[in-house]
Structure 1
Amino acid sequence: MSAAARPPELGLRANARQFWLLVLVNAFVGAMIGLERTVPPLIAEREFLLTSSSLILSFVGAFGLVKAITNLFAGRLGDRYGRRPILLAGWVLALPVPLIIMLAPSWGWIIAANLLLGASQGLTWSTTVIMKIDLVGPHKRGLAMGLNEAAGYLAVAASAYTTGWLATRYGLRPEPFYLGVAFAVTGLILSAAFVRETLPFAQLEAQRHPKAGGEPAPTLGHILKEGVWRNKALASVNQAGLVNNLNDGVAWGLLPLFFAASGLSVTQIALVAATYPAVWGLAQLVTGALSDRLGRKGLIVGGMLLQGVSLLGMALWTGFLPWLFASVLLGLGTAMVYPTLLAAIGDAAQPSWRGTAVGAYRLWRDGGLAVGAIIGGVAADTLGVPAALIIVAVLTAASGLLVAWRMPETHPVASVAA
């Protein structure tokens, strides 16, 4: 029987080739974000002479808002029409992004490029997440999410550092963004030539699910409504995801400018900016699998509290090495949270509407980038960057305490043991 005709079989080992191909594809997805972790805030300040933190953070807010909305439709459309077409559409949207940034005559063009990048990321990253969940089935979900997010954020780190190094050597534009053209073209070719549809795997799992043949899949409106407050698992995960990306958006947009004003070189800024996603990426290789053994809730709570401590350190400490240490702590805290939240959504949602649930969660999570741009920008403009970081640190710790109080354990083994 040919590979194309072979019936689907759940499991990481049974689908190793497609799984690792999707890991590679997601590395290119992450590399596209890495293009923007170091250089664009410096372009805003040094080329376009912007002084308002709110205006500079607008590129993060634009990215987050569009990505959040696109996430929602990516999941729903993937459940209805298949995952692969959504992935390909996302890569097509990515193609013009680096070209626009290289040639942008004003800050408005940078924002427009981020609107496209947000839509692209919403389609590509959401779809690679859902496709891996489809392939592995229920037993290695945390490990799968750890591998997926590790690949993406290690690529973010490598791209962030490399663009910073290129900016130091050649200037802020256009050379650092030549990489983006290569990333987008390679990601599209890999996806079009080698990635296969995974919706049949989700349909197989749905047939085996205890509630298969029961109630019909809930509507999108119902899932969104339940995820606001009524469903304790979905609501807890959604708010934690939002706050996690709220602090990431503030770190993304404000920290390069904060470090530059304090006298760090572009290379040092790039190293601190890259350390956070590098630790985040590497540690997820452990934390995702750990959540399969210990459960989801404890890692989420601990990770949010650690993020709060690290952001407080960013505000109160001074100097390259202390900030580098705080960046390590922020990466560790985020690694505890990021794949675990995705795995918890996979636990709580039935296979037949999992894509929609993941999309709804990512709507909340990436909406945090837009919220962070507003809160961080206003706070930085009125109170200063250190005060903005302290405010975000308190919000992050409070989110972790809310999870501790309200979220039930979603992992079936851990919840039975408890």
Structure 2
Amino acid sequence: MVRPLFAALRSNPVLLWACLIIGVNQLGFGLILPVLALFADSFGITKTAVGAVVSIYGLGRLLFGLPMGQLADRIGRRRIVVVGGVLSAIGSVLCGLTESFEALLVYRFIGGTGAAMVITGTQTILADISTPANRGRMMSAYQGTFLFAVGIGPGFGGLIADYFGYRAPFFAYAALGLAAGLVAFFGLPETKEIASKTARAAGGRTGSKAALRQLLTSAGFMLICAISFVQAVARTGAVFAVVPLLAQMRLGLSPGEIGLPFTVASLLNLATVPVSGILVDRFGRRPVILPSQLLAGASFLIFAVAGSYPAFMAAAIVWGVAGGIGGAAPAAYAADLAPPGANGITMGTYRTLADVGYVVGPILLGLIADLTGPVSALYFTLALFLVVVVLFYFLAPETHPKRAGSGVGV
């Protein structure tokens, strides 16, 4: 299963560097997932405020995703990624040192800004070096690395927290964030000229305002952003905030016990991601996007009713497999719609609109959990997936060149 993933990495050094950078960075991010909500809760705050600690990171990503995409089109991708890695490290160190809830919010925002730079920069690089024919496999290699790193992080982060306390994973994240910046500085080549050549061959680069107007008036682009928005709500609001608290309240699980199922799920995720890339390139984007989002929604139904550790493990596995199957498709769909010479602004806009969910999700689901309980928040997450799947089914066209025109809602 993983052989196509490694083959793709070996055949393209730029892809290899991009995956290495995002893998190191997101491994660090994964380390803090089992402890973030618990660490925030130790300040004696409400669940809504716990959600704010998660979402403020997304606010940094939200506010800087589009500007970083525009800046990447202007000055190049590599510089953006290098600075982003350093900012991630600074924000995480400060989080580990803080004794104040208010300061924690500020430092999480700094980390989110760094994440916006790393993610937007590396995704723009992939848009530069891929074509519609191989974009699914390229994105699957990247997304597989991304999700695998985030997935194995909680297991290690939970163990670190069990032995050294809730603050220790933040320092480990800082070290990995700095490592990602150094890898980008010394190893990552600049790909801006590749996009410029492609734009010239297509008749010229599309201006930033025209490109943004074209994207925001595209039903397909806005709907794929809506799907990524719901994924962000689910990941940051449910998986990062509500699920750990529910697992501790209902099942009495430790950080290590909470993190282990997601680590197991990430191994299955790694196995399914290469299949996703092949399916996306062979059959088109829609046939992969739609069922994978339904499966993701189903995982929250299982989380909501899980009354035992095996059931909790099963829910995490379903979530991980859904992410592996559908992981490559949304970004490939968005990149397909990029106007000539506007890869940076396209991926920046895609990330920005998706990251609204990162900001809204933890606060909204935290509020629902405060008012009606954490189980209600998980059912609400399921409902969001169902709504966006129906809209995408009926309104979003296929973007793969060989499958385009296959129809909407068929």
TM-score calculated relative to the size of structure 2: 0.91
Q: Give the secondary-structure state (helix, strand or coil) at the position aligned to 1:85.
A: helix
Compare 83-92 and 272-281 and name the one that shifted more.
Answer: 272-281
| CA separation of 1:70 and 1:329: change in aligned 2, threshold 3 A | same
Compare 94-103 and 67-76 and name the one that shifted more.
Answer: 94-103
Is 1:196 matched up with 2:189? yes
User: Residue 165 of structure 1 contacts residue 267 of structure 1 at CA under 8 Å; is this kept in 2?
Assistant: yes
Equivalent positions of 1:168-179 (< 5 A) are 168-174=162-168, 176-179=169-172
- Percent identity, aligned pairs only? 24
Is 1:37 matched up with 2:25? no
Is 1:377 matched up with 2:372? no
Equivalent positions of 1:309-328 (< 5 A) are 309-328=298-317
User: Residue 43 of structure 2 contacts residue 101 of structure 2 at CA under 8 Å; is this kept in 1?
Assistant: yes
User: Residue 303 of structure 1 contacts residue 334 of structure 1 at CA under 8 Å; is this kept in 2?
Assistant: yes
Amino acid at match of 2:342: W
Structure 2, gaps ≥5 residues long: 1-7
| CA separation of 1:300 and 1:99: change in aligned 2, threshold 3 A | same
The partner residue of 2:276 within 287, 295, 298 is: 287
Once the two structures are TM-superposed, the CA of residue 178 in structure 1 deviates from its matched residue by 3.4
The partner residue of 1:76 within 70, 77, 84 is: 70
Once the two structures are TM-superposed, the CA of residue 153 in structure 1 deviates from its matched residue by 1.7
Once the two structures are TM-superposed, the CA of residue 54 in structure 1 deviates from its matched residue by 0.7
Is 1:234 matched up with 2:221? yes
Structure 1, gaps ≥5 residues long: 1-11
Q: May I ask how many residue pairs the two structures share in their alignment? A: 399
Match of 1:49 in 2: 44
| CA separation of 1:218 and 1:297: change in aligned 2, threshold 3 A | farther
| CA separation of 1:110 and 1:289: change in aligned 2, threshold 3 A | farther
TM-score calculated relative to the size of structure 1: 0.90
Once the two structures are TM-superposed, the CA of residue 81 in structure 1 deviates from its matched residue by 1.3
Q: Give the secondary-structure state (helix, strand or coil) at the position aligned to 2:33.
A: coil
The partner residue of 1:348 within 337, 347, 352 is: 337
Amino acid at match of 2:116: G
User: Residue 87 of structure 2 contacts residue 114 of structure 2 at CA under 8 Å; is this kept in 1?
Assistant: yes
Q: Give the secondary-structure state (helix, strand or coil) at the position aligned to 2:223.
A: helix
Match of 1:135 in 2: 129
Once the two structures are TM-superposed, the CA of residue 351 in structure 1 deviates from its matched residue by 3.5
Equivalent positions of 1:178-257 (< 5 A) are 178-209=171-202, 212-213=203-204, 217-220=206-209, 223-224=211-212, 226-228=214-216, 230-250=217-237, 251-257=239-245
Is 1:261 matched up with 2:226? no
Give deviations 1:129-157, integer Å, cap 9, x for gaps: 11122123332111111111111221112
User: Residue 227 of structure 1 contacts residue 238 of structure 1 at CA under 8 Å; is this kept in 2?
Assistant: no
Is 1:297 matched up with 2:286? yes
User: Residue 244 of structure 1 contacts residue 334 of structure 1 at CA under 8 Å; is this kept in 2?
Assistant: no
Match of 2:114 in 1: 120
Equivalent positions of 1:138-149 (< 5 A) are 138-149=132-143
Amino acid at match of 2:306: W
User: Residue 154 of structure 1 contacts residue 282 of structure 1 at CA under 8 Å; is this kept in 2?
Assistant: no
Give deviations 1:35-75, integer Å, cap 9, x for gaps: 32111111122x3233x211001112101121022111121
